[in-house]
Structure 1
Amino acid sequence: MGWERGLAYRATIATTARVFEVDGPHAWAELCRRFPITVTDLKRHDWYRTTGRAGEWVIPDWAAVAEHYDGVHLQTGAYLEAAGTAIPVDDERASVIAGWNPGETYWLTSAIRFDDSPRAWVSPDGQGDAWLRE
């Protein structure tokens, strides 16, 4: 992409952090069953075009999830197995893992803190093949 410089912040995660692991479609469905918020009106057309499924759609209600977990981690294997597919939540509802990257964690509370000072890195060749601390 031609990037020649980047900044990285050191993150500290509390040892008491409660992280929900999404290790497959069943875990995502569990999260949606426990903390559902209906998004049918917002997602019906896009998710129908993506999955071919018509019906009610839900995602996790992140505010409700944050009452029980500090973060949600999507394991790479789970992403590869389920991203972009209709995941049955129950007999009437389904969900889609959308807007996530493989291995990504969404932090919902202050269990994670970032240092104030970033570290600068440069790619001498501008190709991103090698990065050196500035």
Structure 2
Amino acid sequence: MRIFEIDTAEAWASLCRRFPIEVTAQKRHDWYRTTGRDGSWVIPDWAKVAEHYDAVHLCTLTYPSAASTAIPVDNETASVIAGWGPDETYWFTPRVRYVDEPIRWALHDDGEDNTWVREES
């Protein structure tokens, strides 16, 4: 399987550079309110991504550091990882089938460090 791993904000930016679709008109208002950035916005064109990959996976540790922040794509555009959860995968192939229950993760905040911990079933 060809799976693109979003393990850093830069990996997301790379995906946006390779397969950009311009979404400024649709996202400007919400993403400005979320990030404070005023400018052009892109996201990956999922139809184009699906021509090269079977899935895209957002790593658990990437989520808290990169989601809902303005990620520079180039000098004029940025993107936001929005609508994803930690350890989420978007599949573009029918060859995948689930063989077990999903794994749940919980964020534990002890006042100093935030830690993602796998929840027991």
TM-score (norm 1): 0.72
State the match for 2:51 in structure 1. 67
Q: Work out whether 1:99 is the aligned partner of 2:99.
A: no
Q: Secondary structure at the match of 2:97?
A: strand
Amino acid at match of 1:49: R
Equivalent in 19, 36, 41 of residue 25 of structure 2: 41
Asked if structure 2 preserves the Cα contact closer than 8 Å seen for 1:70 and 1:110, the reply is no
Alignment gaps of 5+ in structure 1: 1-16, 120-129
Alignment gaps of 5+ in structure 2: 102-119
Distance 1:103 1:114, change over 3 A: closer
Q: Residue 114 of structure 1: CA displacement?
A: 4.8
Higher radius of gyration, 1 or 2: 1
TM-score (norm 2): 0.80
Q: Distance in 1 between matches of 2:12 and 2:58?
A: 9
Q: Residue 111 of structure 1: CA displacement?
A: 3.0
State the match for 2:37 in structure 1. 53
Q: Distance in 2 between matches of 1:89 and 1:41?
A: 17
**Runs in 1 of length 4+ with deviation above 4 angstroms?**
none
Q: Taking every aligned residue pair, what percent have the same amino acid on both sides?
A: 67
Equivalent in 11, 17, 25 of residue 9 of structure 2: 25
Considering only aligned residues, what root-mean-square deviation do their CA atoms show, in Å?
Answer: 1.9
Cα deviation code 1:64-105 (max 9, x no counterpart): 000000000000111111011000000000000000000000
Summarize the alignment of residues 76-87 of structure 1 with structure 2, pairs less than 5 Å apart.
76-87=60-71
Bigger relative contact order, structure 1 or 2 (CA pairs below 8 A, ≥6 apart): 1
